[in-house]
Structures are given as C-alpha cells and as structure tokens.
Amino acid sequence: MLCPMRPLLASLLLIVTSSAVATVPAAQNYSDQVAKLSDIQQRAVMRRAILDGGQYCRQVLSTHRQGPYKNLVMWTAHCAKGGDYAVYIGPDGSAQVRPCADLAKLKLPVCQLPPARP
C-alpha cells in the first residue's frame, strides 16, 4: 500500500538535513536522512509508515536498512505484537509497507531482520 509521508514523518526527516547530492537517487536521499536519525527516531519513522500503510505495530523494537530495490530503498522493522515488515522508501518520500511473510510470494527480497533490542 502506497502512503504519503505524514507531516510528523516529514518533519523528522528535515531534522537531519535538507541538502543532498544531486547525483544520488531521491529514494536514497530520503533513506539517508532516516539513517542519520537516532535509533528512537528511526523506530518512530518506521512505525508511522507501518500504521499509515494500514498494518498494526504496537512498538518497533528494531530497524535495519537492507538496501536498494529497483528505485526504492528497503528497510525492515521488527514489531512487538504486530509482526515484521518491509518498508520501501520511494523517490518521492512515500513508503510502501509489506509484511515480511508476504514477500516471497510477491517475489520481493526477503527480510533480513536484525536481532530485537532488549
């Protein structure tokens, strides 16, 4: 499900920086901004994207920047009570969210989840 970034998510991204190298694809720029956020801010960004995507996640326990997929950048999020999700950041700042369990049948890269934080 494609969802536009909410103002909270966009403002979190603007905390880091608004400058970007022109030769880097736009999806990479947004992903780089998320990567520069603190751990708690990254988890908040991923949770917001998951909720905006119509999925349930009580709390994101860990995130991982998995890498590029086509013109998107794939992140994974491990949720407490809600499951594991792939969050694809698009070149326009949008996010597509898919449950990790569905990726194989959609022929998408499988989630490489980090261990959950205590």
Between strands 83-89 and 95-99, the pairing is antiparallel
pTM of the model: 0.75
d(CA 28, CA 59): 25
Per-residue pLDDT in tens (0 to 9) along the chain, 118 residues: 444 444 444 444 443 334 333 334 566 889 999 999 999 999 999 999 999 999 999 999 999 999 999 999 999 999 998 799 999 999 888 999 999 999 999 999 999 886 655 5
